[in-house]
A and B are shown apart, each in its own frame.
Chain A
Amino acid sequence: MLEQSLPAIVVDGVSKTFALPHERVHTLKEKALHPFRRTTHETLHALRDVSFAVAPGEFFGIVGRNGSGKSTLLKCLAGIYATDAGRIYVQGRMSTFIELGVGFNPDLPARENVMINATMLGLTTREAKRRFDRIIDFAELHDFVDLKLKNYSSGMLVRLAFSVMIQVDAEILLIDEVLAVGDAAFQQKCFEEFQRIRRSGATVLLVTHDMGATQRFCDRAMLLEHGRQAEIGEPERVGMRYMQLNFDAEARAEEEAEAAGAEAGSVESGAEAPTEQQELRVGDRRAEILESWFEDAHGKRATVIVSGAPCTFRTRVRFNERLEDPLFGVNLHNSDDVHVWGANNLYEAKAGIFEAGEEIVFEVAFCNVLAPDRYFASPAVANAGAGMAWHDQRSRLAALMVTGTQQTGGLVDLPFQFTIGRSGAAAAEAEQRVP
């Protein structure tokens, strides 16, 4: 009983660094000529003090962006890399699937490749022979058993490799993004197989980019960022963090690119043409829009907001002249430049009178039902009178990234309730009510 409550995998403070030499000594000759020359190198911290435990029978996801250290962690667990610090405890027979079809040889027929691959993955020859039929059954390749692998299509190869993999029957499986392969029908079969593995009580560690797969299969998940544990727990929560990290990085990259582009543009075009930024601003400037931003539910400025959360848009305005009952508003466009939504105080109470030099902030609070996408806010201040003249209108002044794990494909994600009523049951109920 005691053994059963022990975790299947315990990772205790594991760190891993790689030395990236600046100029690597590649030859004995160089080494002989300069025996004492020290080569300088950079240290890459692939993993920093990572600790977690996985219970037996748990389906545990490890997610992270490229270069976050997730594959390194898997390789440390698999015993492919030696760790620099920390310890890893594993209870039970473990199999690693970092790549499908390790040891496959194109010049040998499928039959022999299956045997070789199964041996590599830890089966004895006898076990491999016994499972051969099941492997071929699952891959649906009966007619091609004696065909050389070089004549296989890539889809057939993947099927064969996956079939060997799932027949290994390890107690602990380490799997690295092998799901994104094969045709749709086979993928469905793989998913079913994963559900079966899960039900059979095996412990599975899945390393992936794909939050969908994580949420579909995993009991718990961990997010790695720059080799550190950024989040661990519910797949939904981890998925949310992951999206946020992704979009943050994307937004940063885009800003940098824009900044670089603006600089380059100003150098090239010189003083001839007005920059795009100037063109996008219209108005007589009797009032000036100084800045706009979004705030999250806690009142903190945010560029990324989760779909479904409350959200506020604020704009700071300075009046250069005395204005009476001006109109404030904002329009929201999505990444396809579709006008998604607009808000203003046209139908609200009159704004009142603002003196020259006065600074105000107007805010639009809303529940963010927008679908995950990138949005741009264009605030404006206008004369509410018959002329409807712009005092100031600035296009795309603030950007907002909306994240979410569901993709409905629509413009908005409205909260909804889903109910299914069986007509048969309803009829039966109705009948009962009759007497």
Chain B
Amino acid sequence: MSAPGVDLELLGPPIKGPSALGSDPARFWRLTWALATTDFRLRFFGSALGYLWQLMRPLMLFGVIYAVFSQLGLDGDVKYYGVALLTGIVLFSFLSEATSGAVHSLSNRENLVRKIEFPRLAVPMATVLTALFNLVLNLVPVFVFLLAAGGRPRWTWLELPLLVIALALLVLGLSTLLSVLYVRYRDVEPIWDVVLQVCFYASPIFYTASIVREEVGETALRLILCNPFAALIQQTRHAVIDPSHESAASAMGGAEWLLVPAGLIVLVVVIGYRVFDRAAPRIAEDL
């Protein structure tokens, strides 16, 4: 059966169903931006101390770990251990906040997904973007501490935006994957919590590369830095804090080893997008 009296040839292509990106890139970006800025603003709204509260969490964690480790003398003989610790915590906060927020982002935004035509990918992407705004804010005390501790601006600071972009890509890949998996499988949330815990201890956050090399060995360090998140922390410390922190390449024993974490980032992004794209048309029904 076909529509009466209409030559379908004249009508151009039929509309596509729901998809990850939608048909209008400008609209996709507008929506992502609107969602992200709204979330971000809500966090600070109605509270004069909004920004301080935002800083409180990483700073508290930092305070506890710093007190314990410097008392126990486990901070090694690295320069600016405190700042290195804070950097690790701030980057981990970004990873943890974005990904665990993304897990139930689609079900939290159910009314958008089910009630209007909405590019699906904008939802987890907005979560990552909000977390990225917070990361930028959280990086401010890192530089304050660094300068207070005697660090001086260096040209390698310019590496930081590139490192943040690489980290954001990794986080985006994970977030898209997690958000769409959660629609089908509700135990993704506790599972991911555990994975994050493991990631916290398996990354050089409260310890440093040199301690791993001394205490465990060269291979263990290389293995740890195969995790792209760990490699990014290491490189950030090298570029931002002090050259006495090894670069990721030298810690792994050669620039060619960097292909492993870099490749993993690409893989996560590609898999995340592919899985999301395939599930996108049915997200509204499965929620």
Contact = CB atoms under 8 A, between A and B. Distances in A.
Q: Do A and B assemble together?
A: yes
Interface of A: 2, 6-7, 10-13, 18, 25-29, 31, 49, 51-53, 75-76, 78-83, 87-91, 96, 98-99, 102-103, 105, 107-108, 112, 115-116, 119-122, 124-125
Interface in B7-45: 8, 10-18, 26-27, 30-31, 34, 38, 41-42, 45
A48 B285 CA distance: 18
A89 B5 contact: no
A29 B17 contact: no
A120 B38 contact: no
Given A27-B187, A96-B116, A82 B46 contact: no
B191 A28 contact: yes
B186 A124 contact: no
Interface string B191-231: 10000000000000000000000000000000000000000
B186 A121 contact: no
B163 interface: no
Contact of B116 (A28, A121, A125): A121
B240 to A, nearest CB: 35
Interface stretch (B71-79, B107-115, B154-162): B107-115
Given A98-B116, A99-B111, A83 B17 contact: yes
Interface of B: 1-6, 8, 10-18, 26-27, 30-31, 34, 38, 41-42, 45-46, 111-118, 181, 184-188, 191, 281-282, 284-285
7 contacts: A2-B10, A53-B5, A82-B281, A102-B115, A108-B38, A108-B42, A116-B38
Nearest to B117: A79
Given A28-B185, A29-B187, A116-B38, A52 B18 contact: no
Interface centre among A6, A82, A115, A124 (most CB of B within 10 A): A82
A198 B116 CA distance: 22
B3 A119 contact: no
Contacts of B2: 12-13, 51
Contacts of B12: 89, 91
Contacts of B114: 75, 80
Nearest to A86: B14
Given A6-B11, A82-B282, A120 B6 contact: no
Contacts of A11: 3
A102 B6 contact: no
Contact of A107 (B6, B14, B42): B42
Given A98-B115, A116-B38, A120-B118, A27 B17 contact: no
Contacts, number: 123
Contacts of A115: 34
B34 A119 contact: yes
Contact of A80 (B11, B116, B181, B184): B116
Nearest to B14: A87
A81 B284 contact: yes
Given A10-B3, A80-B118, A102-B115, 20 more contacts: A6-B10, A7-B6, A10-B11, A11-B3, A18-B285, A26-B186, A28-B188, A28-B191, A76-B17, A79-B15, A82-B17, A82-B18, A88-B15, A96-B117, A99-B111, A102-B116, A108-B38, A112-B41, A119-B34, A120-B31
A2 B11 CA distance: 11
A30 B236 CA distance: 40
Given A28-B191, A122-B27, A12 B284 contact: no
A116 B41 contact: no
B117 A78 contact: yes
Contact of B187 (A28, A53, A88): A28
B180 to A, nearest CB: 13
Contacts of B6: 7, 10, 53
Nearest to A52: B3
A28 B13 CA distance: 39
A220 B191 CA distance: 53
B166 to A, nearest CB: 28
B38 A112 contact: yes
B80 to A, nearest CB: 40
Contacts of A120: 31, 34, 112, 116, 118
Contacts of B112: 102-103, 120
Contact of A51 (B3, B18, B30, B181): B3
Contact of B11 (A25, A91, A103): A91
Contacts of A52: 3
A409 to B, nearest CB: 37
A174 to B, nearest CB: 9
A13 B48 CA distance: 57
Nearest to B30: A119
